[in-house]
Amino acid sequence: MAFPGRIVREAYVALRPILSGWISDPVPPVDDQGEPLATKYFGKWSADAQITAEIQIVGLLIGLFWEVEHSAIYKPTPGLHGIRTDVVLQRRDDVLAALMRFESEFERAMTSGDNAGSSPTAAS
């Protein structure tokens, strides 16, 4: 996990040579457009390795959200029981899309030097 997106892309570029022989299994975007939510690879570190590893390269905000979301939907705790209604899944997609928009805008503002927001000040 990394933040902002520039660091995620740098991690991918750094790992790409190591992962060239691995199986790519990207996590598709919420709206079927744009970049995947995460890049994911399966493979072995060496030809004689007995264990297959998985590497995911994902933005920090989405990765942290997945910690909660996976517990509630895919790996349910006893009190949650894997609630997967259509509405819950749509709200999950809404959150993922909002996190991606936030990260994109944050990175845009960071690279453009746009800190136009004013700090709150105390009333005199």
- What pLDDT does 38 receive? 93
pLDDT per residue of the chain (124 residues) written in tens, 0 to 9: 999 888 999 999 999 998 988 999 999 998 877 788 999 999 998 889 899 999 999 999 999 999 888 877 877 667 766 677 889 889 999 999 999 999 999 999 988 877 665 444 444 3
- What pLDDT does 116 receive? 60
Task: Tell me how far CA of residue 38 lies from CA of 24, 51, 111, 116, 119, in angstroms.
Answer: 11, 22, 22, 30, 34
- What pLDDT does 124 receive? 39
Question: Which residues share a beta bridge with 27?
Answer: 38
Domain spans in the chain, listed from the N-terminal domain onward: 5-112
- Give DSSP secondary structure letters for 57-112: EEBHHHHHHHHHHIIIIIS--TTT-----HHHHHHHHHHHHHHHHHHHHHHHHHHH
